Amino acid sequence: MPKLRFGKGGQPLTDSNLLLVITVSIFAAMYIISMIAFGGGFLNPQQFLNLFNENASLIVLACGLSIVMVTAGIDISVGGVTALVTVCCAVHLQGQGGNVPASLILALAIGVAFGLIQGLLVAYLDVQPFIITLAGMFLARGAATMVEVNPITVTHAGFAALRKIEIRIPGIGYYAKNGNFINSKIELGVIIALIVLIAVFAMFKWTRFGRNLYAIGGNSQSALMLGINIKRTKFFAYLLCGGLAGLGGFIYLLHTGSGAVTQATGTEMKAIAASIIGGFLLSGGVGNILGTLFGVISLVTINNIVVSMGLKGPWWQGITTGAMLCFFIVLQSIIMSRRNGGKAVRPIWMRKSREIGS
């Protein structure tokens, strides 16, 4: 296969960027085809922006997951933490003296607490991240039930005001039936999510910590010998992921306005799927955070397409999400192995260690 040469100075693209290009192209193709085939909602800029409005919290959670996944780790507690945060914040806001800043701090504190404990166990005691965050997931949901069994709708005035904030984008919009031009809008959560995304992007690209994360995912033994403190780096990865889960929970509450144990069920899996689609391989060391964003909106778009095709049954969403994940993983592995000279057909011990995964 001829080497792709899009990178700077005629360099072949790095694996991370190659995967990003694939994700973005597929999303663009998918969206453009839908615009042509289904028209309607797909032509409405608001529907495009709703991809973000409805998934701001997922974007934040997926950013956190990308951070741990690039170190070849995983965190499946984020959905549970989100639920716990919505419940705790709702209880706080509905109680006496509840106020918005305190609820935000509460959300972050809950997330950081989970990240702290999980990070300590994974990094310093070498506990399997899957196991420990599985425990974290159960713990978070359990704690949420303990705090409040019934769903709570937040009626706190300050919070409601915050929920109403929406940013109209000048020049972009559509004509309503009565002929008025309606500007498209995005919610406050989206702004926060995009700031997080940019911050994570900058961290990955320009900070020592960010690059150390990639080094650890590439080969943790080598990273150690290159003088990287892998324990501390891993610890902070989980800490950050936890903190982002807390923030994601707050945004979730901001979007839905109600706290409940059942909120965000399966969100951790969606966040993992979004990261994988975005190019973060489970084996670690590759991925570009912009890919994660496209991973999130691809996941949602495919569901919209299914609905547009008239497949209304709720099971279709699960099936298409599964199929798409499968498609991406197969595509990625084909491209990555072709890139390494078609060595995937070799018996396992003859492959590059990178293909096997460390």
- Which residue, 3 or 168, is less far from other proteins as judged by CB? 3
Q: How far is the CB of 276 from other proteins (least distance, A)?
A: 16
Nearest to 252 by CA among 53, 114, 63: 53
- Which residue, 25 or 340, is less far from other proteins as judged by CB? 340
- Which residue, 221 or 262, is less far from other proteins as judged by CB? 221
Give the length of the chain.
Answer: 358
Cα–Cα distance, 114 to 100 (Å, whole number) = 22
- Which residue, 157 or 348, is less far from other proteins as judged by CB? 348
Q: How far is the CB of 329 from other proteins (least distance, A)?
A: 18
Q: Are 205 and 194 in contact (CB under 8 A)?
A: no
- Which residue, 98 or 291, is less far from other proteins as judged by CB? 291
What's the first-to-final CA gap in the chain, in angstroms?
25
- Which residue, 154 or 216, is less far from other proteins as judged by CB? 216
Cα–Cα distance, 300 to 265 (Å, whole number) = 16
Phi, psi of 85 (to 5 degrees): -65, -45
- Which residue, 4 or 37, is less far from other proteins as judged by CB? 4
How is residue 62 written in tokens? 């997926």
Q: How far is the CB of 4 from other proteins (least distance, A)?
A: 12
Cα–Cα distance, 215 to 232 (Å, whole number) = 13
How is residue 146 written in tokens? 């303990």
Q: How far is the CB of 222 from other proteins (least distance, A)?
A: 4
Calculate ∠ Cα 262-267-271, nearest 5°: 170
- Which residue, 11 or 262, is less far from other proteins as judged by CB? 11
The residue ranges that bind other proteins (CB under 8 A) are 7-9, 11-12, 14-16, 205-212, 214-215, 217-219, 221-229, 285-286, 340-342, 345-354, 356
- Which residue, 79 or 285, is less far from other proteins as judged by CB? 285
SS3 204: helix
SS3 235: helix
Cα–Cα distance, 98 to 159 (Å, whole number) = 10
Q: How far is the CB of 73 from other proteins (least distance, A)?
A: 15
Q: How far is the CB of 277 from other proteins (least distance, A)?
A: 19
How is residue 78 written in tokens? 């984020």
Region of residue 127 (left: phi > 0; alpha: psi -120 to 50; beta: else): beta
Q: How far is the CB of 231 from other proteins (least distance, A)?
A: 9
Residue type, 308: S
Q: How far is the CB of 224 from other proteins (least distance, A)?
A: 6
Q: Residue for token digits 């300590």?
A: 120
Q: Residue for token digits 């559509």?
A: 174
Q: How far is the CB of 3 from other proteins (least distance, A)?
A: 9
